[in-house]
Structure 1
């Protein structure tokens, strides 16, 4: 298996708790919270670990909460490259209203970064790059980190490792504008894809057409668009595929996208072609929505769902 490095500049300590009902103006007595290491790249590394693989997580840590997060990462069995981030590591809170099943997610922005710290992070990432491996840049960027940071990482890697980017907002818009030469894999969800396209993408064919359009424009060699319970679509120069999600009961959607990326990257690292890795990603995401709060997935659920997620050509 080729080595995997995940990048998390804006990690969080994820807290998840339940309340009977969310109402304004009163004290809401929560259950004992579940505590997990969070942030896009860290969740990808957690999913890889759960599914029987291993990765190294580059994580920016700040203050006392950064120390607590480092302990959580170690307890999860994930190898870590620690980098000194500014201020305090952020926290995030997911509250499930048990009377309705609705989830409320409160995400803090994280401390702002200076240009000097961004340059220092790139230098540390440069030393951590696994030669011939895969690098995953996933999740939000903290304040102060420029939208073209994925391009900076891509330029840093060159041909030394493949890069998968899963982001949103201004960084995704920069990528779609062709801001990263030689990007290997770009993933987004259908809402983000519709925003880039300027209109909703109705049906598999229209989604695949847009993914193929991005590939033909050189935005990335491989483009993946998630369609929620309908699974995901993948396009590259060889063709287009769809992996349909297995029908499962939705318990919590938190971390489903990161679990997709973890399962997808792990399959690629084990030598599977992208369309087979697509099925692994979709099975991982389906397994993730079956668990509560920030738990991600169970390996036995993933393995039982995988046969029903085989990718088919579009």
Structure 2
């Protein structure tokens, strides 16, 4: 069975490097690197890199949208771009040579009309033989977060497992949606619950509360350098992060979601799927700029975790 992803607010990721970021100066930059970006698009890229099949559904408009389509076609990622009147956004990342800091500038993206949103969702559910659907990334300006609950209802009707990876009001609107899995960070979980989360017992209680409130069957809380916490019915599992030398952070969370979803779609248990996700996240940290996983790195790190 295949995977489908939906990116409601994609971005053309532009990455460059300069010696040091200073105010009021012209900053001479290296040649830019262009990558197709946005949560669901990144998930589809990682799934494909890892040998799976994922079709990326996303709005397409303007020069940036056209470049995203070309880049994905060049990478042989299955895509279903849906035309929109507006122009897809760009995101701009500047890496410093010294001291090595990274600056990320994210534009808001276009508003989507109701008919465009309907066309996107219809395209998503028009893909045949899909076992898992991943909705990942931010919502475009003015988009009603209730669209995620509507997608959840259609997933239930279609028998597809829904993975949601978003934040803020969009994630809050998923209460009661009954997704298969959500992956908030610890800060996002705290924001959802309106309180600070301190200590491992509180982390587990917070994840259980999100599950009990109907966000998802499985709640995976990303704990950054401490790994991740998985909570489901009568199950709690912590998986430590894999220590690696980090060259970049872009896409690490998307890689975790992609690998978890791919492993689950291939019949692996949720515990093994989480370990595979942790390995993919670590492998992405090892790559510079907006590059994503190397399959050999993922398999090697995963094998080391299982041993």
TM-score normalised by the chain length of structure 1: 0.93
**Shift in Å at residue 262 of structure 1?**
0.9
Query: What residue number does 1:150 align with?
Result: 148
Where does the alignment leave 5 or more consecutive residues of structure 1 unmatched?
none
1:200 Cα offset (Å): 3.1
| Cα deviation digits, residues 35-63 of structure 1 (max 9, x gap) | 11111000001111111212111121002
Q: Distance in 1 between matches of 2:293 and 2:146?
A: 32
Equivalent pairs, count: 306
Counterpart CA distance in 2 for 1:212 and 1:268 is 21
With 119-128 and 105-114 compared, the bigger mean Cα shift is at 119-128
CA distance, structure 2, for counterparts of residue 308 and residue 202 of structure 1: 30
State how 1:1-314 maps to structure 2 within 5 Å.
Answer: 2-128=1-127, 130-131=128-129, 133-160=131-158, 161-175=160-174, 177-178=175-176, 180=177, 182-310=178-306
Contact 2:3 2:130 in 1 (8 A): no
Q: Residue 90 of structure 2: SS of its match in structure 1?
A: strand
Deviation at 1:155, TM superposition (A): 1.5
Q: Any conservation in 2 of the 1:244–1:309 contact (CA below 8 Å)? A: no
- Residues 156-195 of structure 1: CA deviation (Å, up to 9, x unaligned): 22242110000011111112x43x2x32111111110121
State how far apart, in whole Å, the 2-side matches of 1:284 and 1:92 are: 23
Moved over 4 A (4+): none
Kindly indicate whether the alpha-carbon contact (under 8 Å) linking 2:82 and 2:119 is maintained by their aligned counterparts in 1.
Answer: no
- Give the SS at the match of 2:14: strand
Q: Give the root-mean-square deviation of aligned CA atoms.
A: 1.6
1:91-129 deviation line (CA, Å, top 9, x unaligned): 11111112012111011111111223222322332323x
Helix, strand or coil: the match of 1:221? strand
Q: Determine helix, strand or coil for the equivalent of 2:173.
A: helix
- Long gaps (5+) in structure 2: none
Alignment partner of 2:126: what SS? helix
Cα shift at 1:256: 0.4
SS in structure 1 of the partner of residue 48 of structure 2: helix
Mapped partners of 1:206, 1:115: distance in 2 = 40
Take 2:279 and 2:201, find their aligned partners in 1: how far apart are those partners?
21
Maintained 8 Å contact 1:6/1:135: yes
User: Would you say the 8 A contact 1:282–1:309 is kept in 2?
Assistant: no
Deviation string 1:197-245 (CA, Å, 9 cap, x unpaired) is 3333233332122111222232211111100011111111130111111
Q: TM-score, normalised by structure 2?
A: 0.95
